[in-house]
């Protein structure tokens, strides 16, 4: 059996560990030929591949990024995509199966190809932890750890200067990174897309903390929108179309807090460091197990399925199950964290 | 309601985070008075306590150790222990409940006191991850991360010198730390108490790896006993009664590998660094949630219950459920890791 | 002898280690009474002080920030400052000497007070490494390490996405942090205030690296101004008066690179995390030695002097010697780094 | 010009950064051909080399170990060594110069070869910081940081259990790692080979710290010998010939402290983790500059010279200058640290 693998969408610590364990498990357990497809679906469209002997994955578990490269090309792209082209390219490359490693978009594409009859299995990947059907995916733990380390640092400088520190973390649509890193770092307010906290409430929390002689730490997910504002950045005249852009919600929240409370406030945008570098041990274990699980699915020809984490087990679920809307932070989890806010 | 808290047994990163969140949740949500009992059950026997206002738990989530101190004193200790003494002391201290944070021994004691009618709830704590009824407890993730970081370092020096590196990690009775850190670090052999791997097999793995030009990494849990040996340390004439002792299983395995393979081999015992210092973000989140959950149990007077992790939820189970034998590494998990060994 | 200590200006990892060792050395070696002056010169103006017994400095060497707090109040502030007020306040507080820990502004004030006859000695502090007369000061090593760790992470995500990554680091007037972290992280271009590199040159380096299949890493100090631009941020219409502001030179450079090369480019501003958190071991050793040296200077009544690092020695120099203009990155050091740029 | 490079002796974080910058500087500045000699002098004896194009040193600055491998083979080894063989081999390999990167033994060999007329320059390397003529070498800063991180962890577990913690660090002949890491971690006693502290003094320090309610931290260099003992390990019946051995001075000191003070005491041997893994930023900068400096020496045909750190400068000194006896910890530096001990 000859099995291709691709990584698609934003990169994530743990991708290389998935690739490594899939290659080792495929070769050693099933005597498979393992093939790397370069730069996501684009590589399958262009037939841009490389053989993956075990020497290629040496010592890879601890390396961030993906040796296969990634892109945002869609498998149904009008230029060369679609099930017929993909099937033909797979045949020409001699591929009996494809393991697609990616987030919501990637899995949606993979699921559609599988529905169109292609031999495809999936591995969920999202730094944001927004996929349904799996407790967690790799990359999330690393992102939370990096954000927490940064906040530990922000707190000491905040305390010295009697300032309010704002930390903007990843999370356009869900607030998982903000929730976990904020809880770990002892934040006094956590602002997430799922809960439209009014700025008056945020200002009150900040004042309460400041009044008892401490330096407030406010964690804000990049997709947070306060109550009473439809698009705070546009209102503030910030150009927001495309990237790089000047300023984000962290800057806006910072200005508002300073204006509303009079407490000197500083913003830090953690940005891309949250998705780079060595994965945590937890993410390495999870991605190693995911890589093996995906190879098992391919060996069993369970097309359309993906691996998932369920408690301490790695299970198999239909890719479609992961795609029924984003996994948001439940109200109960936010209320739990809220105990730590403000006064 | 006036609630006492104690930490008992070996310390563990995350204890302070449990204490902090319990204090904040108790005071802010339930208007409880929170009381710290010093040095485990010993403090309840000696009525050695301190008030825990919220200023006492400031910034505590990231600190290792326990501000309450710990000891190995048993609650049924003949000198001052037992349910009558404990009940009287609780009454004299004005305590309406006790939250006992500890491992198997502590929870067994707490469970027996609860069965004897005392108002006690539990929080599971074990660096070794050997408690049943909960997916994980805090401290384990930190220990695995520390061990993995150390192994990442051992690998580079091993490769430079073409040596086999042995790392002895914690785990007297179960091999969870060895399994996870070994898998994360890409170990070529993992030796755990649950599996009596013969040294001939270990030597073969080491030779296979060395023969393909790499530096073998062997992870051994302190409780590993190879097939064909009842007590390797005693056989080697190593005095083993009490601590500090000279050498352990890591040293023994190192010598055996070198003798059997001729490959230069070096041992490192990670020891106490695995249980100290700042907890990982994951452990901080888990212990924060455990602390809150325990306070909820106390508020609901659910004596004899303890908090537990189940997937992404914090649930409540009878303490007795955690005590039905050690949670060992299942064969399937070991076989999964074995794919990565040797050749 | 009763000795006051104050920390003034921006905070810096290592301040607490200075305080700790000064207190221990003062008490144990000279039987001094040590006094903390709160929030920089402001505390001397307001007579806001606290006794510093040795229990107050327990375990402090590894903590970031300053337990004394800091401010930007000037000792010649018209409201309560000036040598007469300071002398009177010192007398009323019973202080025989003051150890002033701070950067250029603080030392200039301390030097002027000493010239006006007050018993003051100095400890140099600058994250930016811009003080003359000393090889290094504490805080710089930590800032460089934090920036390097972040860049290690940026590189892996850059490689996966075939992007150019820009990292904006501290350095309004000098480029030391950029130079050292860029060299440590293997940057392909380092842009510093001392060298007005034209953007055409930067774009060429980026294209060269991209063309040989790698992901360019560009490090830019916040005070960098490219040749041919007087104030790039104003030109771009970015409001720059006061803080928080939207966007900085990193954003501007990012846009220019993308426009000039067509290579997808992303910016990360490391910001306040560079000055917070636990100091590196090197900074702890240096600040511990500085604290002791400053107490020796006070014991010897060497007013107007400050400690300095010279090779492996701690020496004493007049504060005025540190204030003869900023210590800039010499051309030879920049040329050395340039070997690593571009092609 | 065709320049060979070899790494010899124990490995050290920063070796790869030296190799990388030497290759880049050699190729880009001088148009040299750079050649890697494998496994130290052994590679020159066996003519085991590899070309080092710049693609070979990609991203290498942050990797621990040495891609060239290392060994303890002596250049005057009777089997194939000596100046005639070396000269012939260099000629046959087309090498116009050799850069030898290593410690005392390596530099002594290199110096002798240079005296015998071979075109050799040196780069000092020692984790122990025991070479004269240079303020520091790379690897030392990383070792100190790793030891300090470990001690930070040991302290929290020590405090929880009211134990004395002993940490054995590297340093057979000199105590630099113990001195710096102990000072950084706030140790209560530092025991080094240069100072034969009696165990009675150590016990007194431990008791003083324990009596004021703290957990003593004792750092001991592996070559420490207390006053009144010629060889404590042999006395204790510990077999000490060859490695791996059971127990070391840390174990011995631990037992003695426990016996003399009655304070529960635990030992941790940091061992090989001190020499592995990613170098600190400081070590990466120093090794990058050393690599460039060595290439400059070769280009200038300054045979017999080596690079050295002097304040903030990289200078050139005769290799013989580094070899005039070990650089020990001076009494003044030890007395400085002693202020922090005990009471």
- DSSP labels, A60-83: -TT--S-TT------TT-TTT-SH
Query: Closest by alpha carbon to B251, among B241, B238, B260?
Result: B238
Closest CA to A5 of A297, A285, A284, A316: A297
**Residues near B180 by beta carbon (within 8 Å), at least 6 away in sequence:** A281, A282, A285, B140, B144
* pTM (2 d.p.): 0.95
> Does A88 appear as a known binding residue?
no
Q: Is A33 labelled a binding residue?
A: no
pLDDT of residue D246: 45
Tell me the C-alpha to C-alpha distance, in Å, between residue C287 and each of B241, C3, C23, C174, C302. Answer: 44, 18, 13, 22, 19
Is C269:C244 a contact under the CB 8 Å cutoff? no
**Rounded distance between C-alpha atoms, residue B298 and residue B301, angstroms:** 5
For residue B342, being part of any structural domain is answered with: no
Task: Tell me if A332 is assigned to some domain.
Answer: no
- Non-local (6+) Cβ contacts of D306 within 8 A are D107, D110, D121, D122, D123, D124, D133, D294, D297, D316, D317, D318, D319, D322
Tell whether B52 lies on the interface with D, counting CB pairs under 8 A.
no
Q: Verify that B29 and B71 share a domain, yes or no.
A: yes
Q: Are C122 and C156 in contact (CB under 8 A)?
A: no
Residue of C nearest to A247 (CA): C246
Rounding to the nearest 10 degrees, give the CA dihedral for residues B206, B209, B211, B213.
-130
- pLDDT for C240 beyond 50: no
What's the confidence (pLDDT) of residue C244?
A: 35
pLDDT at A238: 60
Query: How far is Cα B86 from Cα B82, in angstroms, rounded to an integer?
Result: 6
Structural domain that includes position B250: 144-276
Structure tokens at C147: 């920036």
Shortest Cα distance from A8 to chain B (angstroms)?
23
Residue C223: pLDDT band (50, 70, 90) is: very high
| pLDDT in the model for residue B247 | 60
Quick one: D14 and D129 in the same domain?
yes
Q: For A292, what's the count of Cα atoms within 13 Å in the CB-facing half-sphere?
A: 23
Helix (H) or strand (E) holding B98: strand B97-102
Low-confidence ranges of chain D (pLDDT < 70): 236-247
Smallest CA–CA distance from B332 into chain A, residue: A313
C-alpha separations of A264 from A213, A256, B263 in Å: 14, 11, 61
A272 → closest Cβ in C10, C165, C245: C165
Q: Tell me what percent of the residues of chain B surpass a pLDDT of 70.
A: 97
Tokens of D40: 């130290």
- In the predicted model, what is the mean pLDDT of residues B118-122? 98
pLDDT at A241: 42
Which of B318, C141, C14 lies closest to D142 in space, CA to CA? C141
Residues A127 and A217 both lie in one domain? no
CB B184, CB B152: distance < 8 Å: no
With tokens 């990292």, the residue in question is C167
Q: Are A123 and A307 in contact (CB under 8 A)?
A: yes
Q: What share of chain C is helix, strand, coil (3-state, %, to 5)?
A: 45, 15, 40
Instruction: Give the gyration radius of chain B's Cα atoms.
Output: 22
The tens digit of pLDDT for each residue in C300-339 reads: 999 999 999 999 999 999 999 999 899 999 999 999 999 9
Average pLDDT, integer, range B286-311: 98
**pLDDT band at residue B343 using 50, 70 and 90 as cut-offs:** confident
Query: What single string gives the DSSP state of each residue in C12-64?
Result: -TTHHHHHHHHHHHHHHHH--EEEEETTTHHHHHTT-EEE--GGGGTT-TT--
Note whether D63 and D108 are same-domain residues: yes
Q: What angle do CA A201, A204, A210 make, to 5 degrees?
A: 145
Judge whether D222 is closer than 8 Å to chain B, CB to CB.
no
In a domain, C16, yes or no: yes
8 A C-beta contact, residue C47 and residue C93: yes
Mean pLDDT of B290-316: 98
The residues of C annotated with a catalytic role in the active site are 128
Q: What is the pLDDT of residue B239?
A: 53
Question: Is C6 an interface residue toward A (CB < 8 Å)?
Answer: no
CA distance C195 to C180: 15
Domains in chain A, number: 2
Does one domain contain both C77 and C190? no
CB atoms within 10 A of CB A54: 15
> Of B276, B305, B338, which residue is a domain's last?
B276
Q: Check if the beta carbon of residue C293 is closer than 8 Å to that of residue C260.
A: no
Co-location of D125 and D102 in the same domain: yes
Distance in angstroms (rounded) separating the CA atoms of residues C132 and C134? 6
Residues C147 and C111 reside in one and the same domain? no
Asked if the C-beta of A29 comes within 8 angstroms of chain B's C-beta atoms, the answer is yes
What positions of A carry a catalytic annotation? 128
**Cis? peptide before A244, omega within 30° of 0:** yes
Same-domain pairing of B203 and B148: yes
Active-site residue identified among D11, D77, D128, D231? D128
Rounded distance, CA B164 to CA B157, Å? 10
Gap from D76 CA to chain C (nearest CA, Å): 35
Candidate from D70, D152, D244 with C-beta closest to B161:
D70
Instruction: Tell me how close the Cα of B158 comes to any Cα of chain A, in angstroms.
Output: 13
Q: What is the CATH number of the domain that holds A129?
A: 3.40.50.450
B299 inside 8 A of chain A by CB: no
A181 touching B (Cβ < 8 Å):
yes
- Confidence band (pLDDT; 50, 70, 90) for C238? low
Q: Give dist(CA A99, CA B161) in Å, integer.
A: 37
Q: Residues of C annotated in the binding site, as ranges?
A: 10, 72-73, 103-106, 126-128, 163, 170-172, 222, 266, 272-275
Count the residues in chain A: 343
Query: How far is C210 from C187, CA to CA, in rounded Å?
Result: 13
Beta-sheet pairing, A265-269 with A217-221: unpaired
Length of chain C: 343
The answer to whether the Cβ–Cβ distance between A282 and B58 falls below 8 Å is no
Count Cβ atoms below 10 Å from residue D259 Cβ, excluding itself: 11
Distance between alpha carbon C207 and the CA centroid of its chain, in Å?
Answer: 33
Give the nearest chain B residue to A23 (CA atoms): B340
CATH number of the CATH domain containing D246: 3.40.50.460
CA dihedral A332, A337, A341, A343 (to 10 degrees): 80
Q: pLDDT over 70 for what percent of chain A? A: 97
Question: Is B335 among the domain residues?
Answer: no
Does C343 reach chain D within 8 Å, measured CB to CB? yes
Separation between Cα atoms, residue C266 and residue C253, nearest integer Å = 10
Give domain status of residue C284, yes or no.
yes
Q: Cα C25 from chain centroid?
A: 25
Confidence band, pLDDT 50/70/90 cuts, at residue C247: low
The pLDDT assigned to D247 comes to 60
Q: What is the ipTM of this complex?
A: 0.94
CB atoms within 10 A of CB B260: 16
Question: Could B282 and A282 be called an inter-chain contact, meaning their C-beta atoms sit closer than 8 Å?
Answer: yes
Cis preceding-peptide flag for D244 (omega within 30 of 0): yes
Please tell me the predicted confidence (pLDDT) of residue C231: 81
Q: Do D202 and D289 lie in a common domain?
A: no
Residues D201/D193, Cβ–Cβ less than 8 Å: no
Give start and end residues of each alpha helix (H) in chain D.
15-30, 41-45, 83-93, 104-115, 140-161, 176-185, 199-211, 232-235, 249-261, 281-299, 331-338
Q: What pLDDT score was predicted for residue B183?
A: 97
- Chain-chain contact of C255 with A244 (C-beta, under 8 angstroms): yes
Which residues make beta-bridge pairs with A306? A122, A317
What is residue D237's predicted lDDT score, i.e. its pLDDT?
Answer: 63
- Is D335 annotated as catalytic? no
C180 interfaces chain D, CB cutoff of 8 Å: yes
**pLDDT at site A248:** 87
Chain B residues with CB under 8 Å of A343 CB are 28
Top residue of B9, B160, B170, B213 to mutate, by most chain D CBs within 10 Å, is B160
Final residue in a domain of this structure, among D214, D247, D275: D275
Last residue within a domain, chosen from B276, B294, B310: B276
Largest CA distance in chain C: 69
Per-residue pLDDT of chain A (343 residues; tens, 9 = 90+): 999 999 999 999 999 999 999 999 999 999 999 999 999 999 999 999 999 999 999 989 999 899 999 999 999 988 899 999 999 999 999 999 999 999 999 999 999 999 999 999 999 999 999 999 999 999 999 999 999 999 999 999 999 899 999 999 999 999 999 999 999 999 999 999 999 999 999 999 999 999 999 999 999 999 999 999 888 877 766 654 443 344 689 999 999 999 999 999 999 999 999 998 899 999 999 999 999 999 999 999 999 999 999 999 999 999 999 998 999 999 999 999 999 998 7
Position B338 in a domain: no
In angstroms, rounded to a whole number, what is the distance separating the alpha carbons of residues A88 and A47?
10
Look at the block and give the residue holding tokens 């910016």: C267
Q: Which of D19, D60, D156 is the best substitution to test chain B (most B C-beta atoms within 10 A)?
A: D156
- Say whether pLDDT at C245 is over 70: no
Residues D190 and D77 in one domain: no
CA of C162 vs chain D CAs: smallest distance (Å): 15
Q: Is the peptide bond before C244 cis (omega within 30 degrees of 0)?
A: yes
Any CB–CB contact under 8 A between C312 and chain D? yes
Distances (CA, A) of C272 to A277, C18, D113, D247: 20, 21, 52, 45
In chain A, residues 75-134 whose CB comes closer than 8 Å to chain B: none
Interchain proximity D244–B238, CB inside 8 Å: no
Q: Within a domain: residue A340?
A: no
User: Are C90 and C177 in the same domain?
Assistant: no
User: What's the pLDDT at D240?
Assistant: 47
Peptide bond into B147 cis (omega under 30): no
Alpha-carbon span B118 to B95, nearest angstrom = 11
The closest of D65, D13, D76 to D39, measured between CA atoms, is D65
Average pLDDT of B178-191? 97
Mean pLDDT for the stretch of residues B173-182: 97
pLDDT for the residue D100: 98
Residue A139's pLDDT is: 96
Query: Does C13 share its domain with C91?
Result: yes
Query: Which residues are registered as beta bridge partners of D315?
Result: D308
Interface test with B, best of A135, A213, A281 (most B CBs within 10 A): A281
| Residue B150 covered by a domain | yes
Distance CA B57, CA B52 (A): 8
Q: Which residues of C touch D155 (CB under 8 A)?
A: 59
Residue D342: predicted pLDDT: 84
Chains within contact range of chain C (3+ C-beta pairs < 8 Å): A, D
Cα three-residue angle C227-C230-C232, rounded to 5 degrees: 90
CA D275 from chain center: how many Å?
Answer: 8
Token pair for B132: 């049943």
Alpha-carbon dihedral sign for residues D94, D100, D106, D111: positive
């Amino acid at each position: 059996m000859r099995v291709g693998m691709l990584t698609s969408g934003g990169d994530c610590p743990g991708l290389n560990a998935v690739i490594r364990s899939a290659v080792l498990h495929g070769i050693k357990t099933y005597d498979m030929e393992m093939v790397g497809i370069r730069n996501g679906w684009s590589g399958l469209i262009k037939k841009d591949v490389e053989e993956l002997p075990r020497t290629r994955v040496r010592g890879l578990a601890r390396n961030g990024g993906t040796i296969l490269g990634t892109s945002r090309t869609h498998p149904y792209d009008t230029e060369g995509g679609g099930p017929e082209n993909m099937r033909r390219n797979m045949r020409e490359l001699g591929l009996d199966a494809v393991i697609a490693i990616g987030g919501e978009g990637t899995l949606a594409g993979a699921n559609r190809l599988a529905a169109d009859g292609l031999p495809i299995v999936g591995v969920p990947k999202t730094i944001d932890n927004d996929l349904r059907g799996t407790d967690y995916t790799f990359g999330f733990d690393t992102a939370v750890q990096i954000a927490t380390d940064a906040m530990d640092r922000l707190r000491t400088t905040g305390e010295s200067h009697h300032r309010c520190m704002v930390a903007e973390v990843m999370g356009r649509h869900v607030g998982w990174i903000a929730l976990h890193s904020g809880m770990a770092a002892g934040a006094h307010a956590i602002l997430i897309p799922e809960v439209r906290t009014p700025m008056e409430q945020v200002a009150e929390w900040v004042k309460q903390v400041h009044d008892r002689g401490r330096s407030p730490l406010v964690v804000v997910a990049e997709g947070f929108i306060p109550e009473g504002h439809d698009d705070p950045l546009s209102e503030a005249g910030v150009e927001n179309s495309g990237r790089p852009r000047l300023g984000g919600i962290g800057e806006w929240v910072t200005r508002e807090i300073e204006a509303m409370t009079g407490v000197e406030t500083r913003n830090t945008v953690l940005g891309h460091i949250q998705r780079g570098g060595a994965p945590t041990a937890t993410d390495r274990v999870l991605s190693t197990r995911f890589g093996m699980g995906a190879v098992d699915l391919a060996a069993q020809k369970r097309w359309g399925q993906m691996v998932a984490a369920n408690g301490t087990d790695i299970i198999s679920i239909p890719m479609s199950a992961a795609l029924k809307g984003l996994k948001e932070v439940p109200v109960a989890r936010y209320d739990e964290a809220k105990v730590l806010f403000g006064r």
